[in-house]
Amino acid sequence: MSSPRLRVQFETLFQHFDGKNSDVQLEDITEILFCTRRNARIVLNKLEEEGWIEWHPAAGRGKLSQLIFKRSKADVSENLAKRYLEEGKIGQALEVLDSDAAKLTQVIQGYLGLQHREGEQVVRLPYYRPLSMLNPHLQMRRTEIHIARQIFSGLTKLDDNDVLQPDLAHTWEMRSAKHWRFYLRPGVRFHNGELLTTDMVIESLLELRRLNLFSHLQSVTTPSPWVVDIHLFKDDFHLPLALSESQAKILLPERLRSEDYHIRPVGTGPYMVQSNDDKRLILRAFDGYFGFRPLLDQVEVWVIDEAYSSMVYPSLSKPIMDASSLSDEVELDPGCTFLLLNKRSGVAKDPRWAEFLASVLNGYQLFSYVPQEKVIELGLLQAFGIKPGWIDLYPKPNIEPPTELERISVAYQAQHPMFPVIAKTIKTILKRYHIDVDFVKYDASLQEPECVDVWIKAMGIATNRDDALAGWLLDYSNIESMSTDGDFARWSQLVDLWREGGCEEFPAREIGRQLVRSCQVIPMFHCWLGVNKDHSGALQNAKCNALGWFDFSQVWVKPELDN
């Protein structure tokens, strides 16, 4: 790519000659650019290679050469801005456009949003960070969970209305509360052409036993081709529902996976990963999908600088909002952002410290410290429980630290639009009590959670169903590693009681109440999620899901017709 310096040199010449073709001597160029004759020739050659000028040198000293401008200053700036956009460098693109956000918006609109390319429908969406973990058997963040659901299939799935539906299993039956039978679709292929076999399904299901949600899985067998029997240690009347979880997707056997499987996985879902790096993720519709082929041919998620993302184009997981109104298409996150206290090995193992932290770091306290513009930009709403509408957190009188303490460690994911703001607010509040904060920042996963006192986390549950709390509580909430054995066993028993048929409704409300009142979890904020209708263009059925995105496989483009 041409350097910013070359652009400045072009603009200097363009401005000097007022953009008009001119007869000029090389010495004039050296004076204008403040360089030697040799460097002037190099610059002119590079400008000609870029197609910005034509340079016709005249033979003989004193004769006039011809300088022809092929591009205007605006053309060159826009061309460079487009090249920077290709690399996801929004900040540099803005710089070459003289920090004119309106111009940048015009340029970027040509790259993001709906595109028609050689008869194909392509959607390009902006995002603020790379999507570097797409293996559903490992811990993923909210957006990665959404992407993985486009790439992989499970035995069952939830539809847009959170109703259980068949997926790789076309039907199933409960032989007993400890024995379920699933009938598989034959002829399903992975994106790389591998035929999905019954043995592959069994191998993938057996991997789930490392999760608490599936620790009661005893064995998986096949009594007949395309039939899988799952035997359990404990009764479970809701196993098909658990198998719709993102962690339960069926994966390619490990021996067939590439080294970069985490970022370029192979599944059986409606979209396949064409490429994935720190600049963009490209998903292609899988023509061999066993269900309905997606109507969008390609979905691209572009990584752009976080500082400019909301100014240029709204992320679907962080819609642009204003203080006066909310779109009907915007809904509250079904979970919340919360503080997880380390009651196992951190300062909160002392109940007095847990009570103190819960009294000074809850949403009541933090909300007043967050700048109003951030509240609007991030779509924050104060949380009184772990789900919207739940009230388990009440204002408490200010209390002093129970003992002297110099420092507290706070962990959070560095690449997140909200967490650094919360971390800064925590530091401000605790400073009033003469407590310093050591921040532990991480990218994908926290390596030593037992060494931190407070962990800023987002629930990231994938559905609006209350029973979605089961998988969250037992596994990806990290509550097990931060709570006492007795507390976690008690909460796990509530889930087991429901699975074994001891209660008809999932005890979500009781679990949420106990987590908050025990000071294990401190709810802070809910956030608004949604699809900005003004920027989704002609996309039809772009309905926001619980993860703040829309199902790529369900949307389509309505053509513009005269009548």
Categorize the per-residue pLDDT at 308 as very low, low, confident or very high, splitting at 50, 70 and 90.
Answer: very low
Report the pLDDT averaged over residues 343-357.
95
CATH of the domain at 61: 1.10.10.10
**Which span out of 127-141, 203-217, 400-414, 450-464 was modeled with the highest average pLDDT?**
203-217
Question: Are the beta carbons of 93 and 78 closer than 8 angstroms?
Answer: no
Residue 81 lies in a domain: yes
Residue 549 lies in a domain: no
First to last CA, the chain: 46
pLDDT at 395: 78
Residue 363 lies in a domain: yes
Residue with tokens 């340029």: 107
Domain boundary residue among 252, 285, 318? 285
Residue 234 lies in a domain: yes
CATH of the domain at 455: 3.10.105.10
Percent of the chain with pLDDT over 90: 51
Does one domain contain both 438 and 513? yes
pLDDT at 380: 87
Alpha-carbon span 160 to 85, nearest angstrom: 33
How high does pLDDT run on average in the chain?
86
Is the per-residue pLDDT at 326 higher than 50?
A: no
Categorize the per-residue pLDDT at 181 as very low, low, confident or very high, splitting at 50, 70 and 90.
Answer: very high
**Which span out of 123-127, 285-289, 539-543 was modeled with the highest average pLDDT?**
285-289
Does one domain contain both 369 and 338? yes
Residue 303 lies in a domain: no
Does one domain contain both 86 and 48? no
- Retrieve residue 51's tokens: 């197609």
Does one domain contain both 357 and 494? yes
Is the per-residue pLDDT at 357 higher than 50?
A: yes
pLDDT at 47: 86
Minimum mean pLDDT range among 64-68, 181-185, 258-262, 507-511: 64-68
Angle between helices 26-33 and 4-16 (to 10 degrees): 120
Does one domain contain both 123 and 171? no
Does one domain contain both 267 and 176? yes
- The residues with which 342 forms a beta bridge, in sequence order, are none
Alpha-carbon span 396 to 356, nearest angstrom: 10
**Order of strands, edge to edge, in the sheet holding 65-69?**
22-24, 65-69, 53-56
Report the pLDDT averaged over residues 169-184.
98
**DSSP character for 370?**
S
Report the pLDDT averaged over residues 220-241.
97
Identity (one letter) of the amino acid at 502?
A: G
pLDDT at 330: 63
Alpha-carbon span 57 to 54, nearest angstrom: 10
Does one domain contain both 55 and 122? no
Categorize the per-residue pLDDT at 5 as very low, low, confident or very high, splitting at 50, 70 and 90.
Answer: confident
The 10 Å Cβ neighbour count of residue 99 is: 10
- Summarize pLDDT for 26-48 with one digit per residue, the tens: 888 888 888 888 888 898 898 88
Categorize the per-residue pLDDT at 59 as very low, low, confident or very high, splitting at 50, 70 and 90.
Answer: confident
Higher pLDDT, 347 or 18: 347
Categorize the per-residue pLDDT at 109 as very low, low, confident or very high, splitting at 50, 70 and 90.
Answer: low
Residue 297 lies in a domain: no
pLDDT at 262: 94
Report the pLDDT averaged over residues 236-242.
97
Question: Are the beta carbons of 190 and 262 closer than 8 angstroms?
Answer: no
pLDDT at 170: 98
Does one domain contain both 36 and 84? no
Is the per-residue pLDDT at 14 higher than 60?
A: yes
Question: Are the beta carbons of 296 and 122 closer than 8 angstroms?
Answer: yes
Categorize the per-residue pLDDT at 101 as very low, low, confident or very high, splitting at 50, 70 and 90.
Answer: low
Alpha-carbon span 281 to 301, nearest angstrom: 5
Residue with tokens 């080294």: 259
CATH of the domain at 260: 3.40.190.10
Alpha-carbon span 242 to 503, nearest angstrom: 17
Indicate the helix (H) or strand (E) that contains 94.
helix 90-96
Domain boundary residue among 227, 256, 285? 285
Question: Are the beta carbons of 340 and 478 closer than 8 angstroms?
Answer: yes
Report the pLDDT averaged over residues 163-187.
97
Categorize the per-residue pLDDT at 288 as very low, low, confident or very high, splitting at 50, 70 and 90.
Answer: very high
pLDDT at 536: 53
Alpha-carbon span 219 to 380, nearest angstrom: 45
Indicate the helix (H) or strand (E) that contains 113.
strand 113-117
Report the pLDDT averaged over residues 7-28.
84
Question: Are the beta carbons of 268 and 157 closer than 8 angstroms?
Answer: no
Alpha-carbon span 301 to 125, nearest angstrom: 5
The 10 Å Cβ neighbour count of residue 407 is: 11
Does one domain contain both 165 and 92? no
Q: Where are the beta strands (DSSP E) in 20-106?
A: 22-24, 53-56, 65-69
Alpha-carbon span 116 to 23, nearest angstrom: 44
Does one domain contain both 272 and 359? no
- Summarize pLDDT for 512-553 with one digit per residue, the tens: 999 999 999 999 999 887 655 544 556 776 666 666 677 888
pLDDT at 532: 53
Is the per-residue pLDDT at 314 higher than 60?
A: no
Report the pLDDT averaged over residues 553-560.
77
Minimum mean pLDDT range among 162-176, 367-381, 506-520: 367-381
Q: Look up the domain containing 366 and give its range.
A: 331-529
Is the per-residue pLDDT at 16 higher than 80?
A: yes
pTM of the model as a whole: 0.80
- Of 123, 120, 78, 84, nearest to 103 (Cα)? 78
Helix or strand or coil: residue 527?
A: strand
The domain total for the chain is 4
Does one domain contain both 394 and 516? yes
Categorize the per-residue pLDDT at 321 as very low, low, confident or very high, splitting at 50, 70 and 90.
Answer: very low
Does one domain contain both 429 and 461? yes
Alpha-carbon span 270 to 292, nearest angstrom: 8
Residue 539 lies in a domain: no
The 10 Å Cβ neighbour count of residue 550 is: 23
Alpha-carbon span 496 to 150, nearest angstrom: 30
3-state per-residue secondary structure call for 470-522: HHHHHHHCCHHHHCCHHHHHHHHHHHHHHHCCCCCCCCHHHHHHHHHHCCCEE
Categorize the per-residue pLDDT at 362 as very low, low, confident or very high, splitting at 50, 70 and 90.
Answer: confident
Minimum mean pLDDT range among 21-25, 184-188, 218-222: 21-25
Backbone angles phi, psi at 302, to 5 degrees: -95, 135
Residues 6+ apart with CB under 8 A from 17: 24, 67, 69
pLDDT at 319: 39
Is the per-residue pLDDT at 192 higher than 90?
A: yes
Higher pLDDT, 249 or 72: 249
Domain boundary residue among 285, 312, 342? 285
Residue 111 lies in a domain: yes
Categorize the per-residue pLDDT at 77 as very low, low, confident or very high, splitting at 50, 70 and 90.
Answer: confident
- Of 445, 508, 485, 470, nearest to 214 (Cα)? 470
Buried b (16+ CB within 10 A) or exposed e, 21-50: ebebebebbbebbeeeeeebbebbebbeeb
Report the pLDDT averaged over residues 244-248.
95
Report the pLDDT averaged over residues 327-341.
80
Alpha-carbon span 95 to 92, nearest angstrom: 5
Is the per-residue pLDDT at 460 higher than 90?
A: no
Higher pLDDT, 380 or 197: 197
Alpha-carbon span 58 to 25, nearest angstrom: 9
